[in-house]
Amino acid sequence: MRLSELSGKEIVDLERAERMGVLGHADLEIDENDGRIHNLIIPTGKWSAFKRSQQEVRVSWKRIKKVGQDMIIFDLSHHDDE
């Protein structure tokens, strides 16, 4: 799959059954040496009247369960050895 094909897909947390964002608003952490994706970095910032509170959720690519036509599903609930 090409990186351009990932853009625009919804990112969904399987455990909470919650939409976390859209790839394009999220970042990918890519290894400079081999080009592999290590993490998905999803901003979770909230806007208030005066400022923006920026936080993020980092999801290891190993936690991605399925990349479908419209969405990327990840699961953080299992803590098995990988």
Residue-number span of the structural domain to which 54 is assigned:
3-74
Residue carrying structure tokens 């990932």: 6
Query: For residue 50, is it within any domain?
Result: yes
pLDDT tens-digit readout, 18-76: 888 888 778 889 999 998 999 988 887 654 455 555 688 889 999 999 999 999 999 98
Query: For residue 37, is it within any domain?
Result: yes
Q: What is the pTM (predicted TM-score) of this model?
A: 0.72
- Helix (H) and strand (E) counts in the chain: 1, 9
Q: What letter would DSSP give residue 77?
A: S
What CATH number is attached to the domain comprising 10? 2.30.30.240
